[in-house]
Amino acid sequence: MRKSIIHGLAALMLATATLAAPAVPSNGEDIVVRVQKSGGALGVYAELTVPTTPERAWEVLVDYDRMDEILSSVDDSRIVKQEGNQLEVVQTSHLRFGPFKVSLHNRRRVELVPQTEIRSHLIEGDLRASDFTTRLMSAGAQTRVTWRGRIVPGPLARLAVTVAGVEAELHQLCQDLRAEILRREARRMSPACRLA
């Protein structure tokens, strides 16, 4: 029973974002997270504003083959099927609860609308359902990334998937995503060193 709950939480983490860079300090105004319970489902909204172009934010959001290098909870991530802008992504991830580490497998169908939208649907996992739409919008010198979705946990996962827990997890994922985007921005801005 405990293992199923933990698997459900881990699948939830992957559903909400799919992002191990250290968090960059923030004043908190660049991240907004709202989770609302309605019956057995959780409605999710998250927003991140980051100083970059939509094209550069997009590079991080769709870097599924390197997601295990970006998100600390992902052990393996790869695109197993691609037909144009339709992907199937398989990930192995883990959650830590005190001294315990539990692994899980997650398979998602992803539809890309280049540099503007990502639609993600859970095919296999420990949640009953998980559907998210991620949008990127230019906001002057910044990019606003929004996630809207709905999560339906299974009977056991419902006991552990709380509004406060999902909000905290989404906030951390936004921090991780921002940190990776800013790390890549800094690398682009650094002049190449050349030997004379």
Instruction: Compare 56 and 96 and report the one with higher pLDDT.
Output: 56
| pTM for this entry | 0.79
Is 89:78 a contact under the CB 8 Å cutoff? yes
Each residue's pLDDT tens digit, 65-84? 998 888 777 789 999 999 99
- Bridge partners of 59? none
Q: What is the pLDDT of residue 126?
A: 74
C-alpha to C-alpha distance for 14 and 149, rounded to whole angstroms: 13
| 128-178 pLDDT per residue, tens | 888 999 999 998 899 999 999 998 877 655 655 678 777 877 887 888 889
